[in-house]
Copies of this chain bind each other. A is one copy, B any other.
């Protein structure tokens, strides 16, 4: 370590530096008000920043001191450094010109809900530690289940229940371990070598990661190709074949992850038909509706969840499309006791009469960690502040803008839609000469993507499905309005023209 960390500086002083009050209510009030204005101004001016950060790796280390300060620094200096050092390194996810990945949606209601969650700092590992935190989570999970028209078997008011996790990854891991331990109960621990997990090659990469985390043998993770013919949905017929082959070779089919809205192209797996196949083999079916699930609060999209009564668990991330800020992933299960069996702990220091005598929910037994934040406040504030009517209108507005963009693409002879649009993501590409050489088209679109993103005026990303390279235009950032979508299309068009004018094709 550098000389600053030697005993003579950090470790020499054992005297108290004045009276230190880290949570003086009036200082808190002053700083928090100041931060509110900082943030409101940031939101107001967000369009002035390049969407994709233009810094080079290592930029920040060069600007910041190597060591933390020994003495306090004024709040105004810190705010200044946030403006000067942090903001240039931000990729502005809340920019209305952010069309990359899936945008992460937000709202004033969720922000103040999050402030309140932070305020209480309740650690809701069991009921007693924060009754309101546990009970409000149970209420909002049931409310959201109602919006999605989930069957009673997923609700606390029925025979199931739900829990708010951080990410889909955690939600899937918890469900998977519940399924695994149910299976190992009869197979014995060594049976883990026989357990097989299924998904399509469009399933989020975190699913395979969860399988590996849970000790499923990598050779027993079946990633089944989904083709363009089915719009990249997993085929129940193919799944049946794969499962039957596994059974024939003495393996034990364990778990299937079906997606409602894959990350590459928002493909929707046919939940009902897949569930029929899986049910025959007592496979645990999890529906990953991280993105697409939110749309199902609108009746015109609800059919994508048809068959959900046949599945074992379902996850949906309100931080993706229900205005909740990160991180908020909802997991519903039909049999909470299986989750609890796999995940419960019962150390002496957490024992209490409520957990022993009453049938209260202790959420530590529904998740990986012990500690738990009071995230339910955010969902509660969202649902109450906006009402179902506005939430539906929010989904529809994004879909309408995506449809508009899709119209621009379709009506332009240089461009083409690569995969039919389902929700608010448009998968398209530039292909002016209807070229059949895939590597040329890929090269061209990579150039276009770089050229557009380097302007800082919007941010899009790409994907590849069925070996086709495509650009993804994901509408959904909370501040996006029609004018941003129109301006984005104009920029994409102009960049394509400039690219072609430079006679790129001839020079290859």
Given contacts A1-B149, A93-B120, contact A31 B135 (CB under 8 A): no
Q: Are A389 and B205 in contact (CB under 8 A)?
A: no
One digit per residue, 1 when the CB lies within 8 angstroms of any chain B CB and 0 when it does not, for chain A 152-169 equals 100001000000001111
A19 to B152, CA, bound (A): 33
In the assembled complex, A227 has its CB within 8 A of some CB on chain B: no
New contact pairs (17) apart from A1-B149, A60-B131, A213-B213, CB-CB < 8 Å: A1-B146, A1-B152, A10-B147, A20-B393, A24-B108, A35-B116, A52-B128, A57-B135, A61-B139, A68-B383, A86-B132, A86-B377, A89-B131, A114-B114, A192-B215, A327-B373, A348-B464
Partner of A386, one of B22, B37, B463: B22
Cβ of A338 < 8 Å from any Cβ of B?
A: no
Decide: B354 and A108 in contact? CB cutoff 8 A.
no
Most chain B beta carbons < 10 A, residue from A26, A88, A123: A123
The answer for the CA separation of A360 and B55 in the assembled complex, in Å, is 13
**Residue among B23, B58, B263, B464 making CB contact with A108, cutoff 8 Å:** B23
Are A68 and B147 interface neighbours, CB within 8 A?
yes
A87, B197: Cα distance in complex, Å: 44
**Once the chains bind, are A146 and B93 in contact (CB under 8 Å)?**
no
A22 to chain B, nearest CB (A): 4
Q: A72-B385, A86-B132, A345-B209 are in contact. Are A368 and B23 (CB under 8 A)?
A: no
Q: Is the CB of B384 within 8 A of A73?
A: yes
Instruction: Check: A33 CB closer than 8 A to any chain B CB.
Output: yes
Instruction: Enumerate A15-33 residues with CB–CB distance to B below 8 Å.
Output: 16-17, 20, 22-29, 31-33
B-facing residues in A325-374 (Cβ within 8 Å): 325-327, 342-343, 345-350, 354, 358-360, 368-371, 373
User: In the bound complex, how far is the Cα of B263 from the Cα of A476, in angstroms?
Assistant: 44
Interchain CB contact under 8 A, B131 and A68: no
Q: Is the CB of B107 within 8 A of A263?
A: no
On whether the beta carbons of A143 and B208 are closer than 8 Å, the reply is: no
Report yes or no: A139 in contact with B64, Cβ–Cβ below 8 A.
Answer: yes
Question: Measured between alpha carbons, how far is A28 from B32 in the docked complex, in Å?
Answer: 14
Q: Which of A37-56 contact B (CB under 8 A)?
A: 37-44, 52-53, 55
The reply on A396 being an interface residue by CB < 8 A is yes
Q: How far is the CB of A497 from chain B (nearest CB, A)?
A: 24
Whether the Cβ atoms of B68 and A384 lie closer than 8 Å is yes
Residues of B within 8 A of A121 (CB): 93-94, 104, 106, 325-326
B residues within 8 A CB of A343? 209
Give bound CA distance, A68 to B371, whole Å. 27
Q: Inside 8 A of A360's CB, which chain B residues have their CB?
A: 57
Whether A26 touches B40, Cβ cut-off 8 Å, given contacts A146-B68, A349-B472, is yes
Residue A276 CB within 8 A of the other chain: no
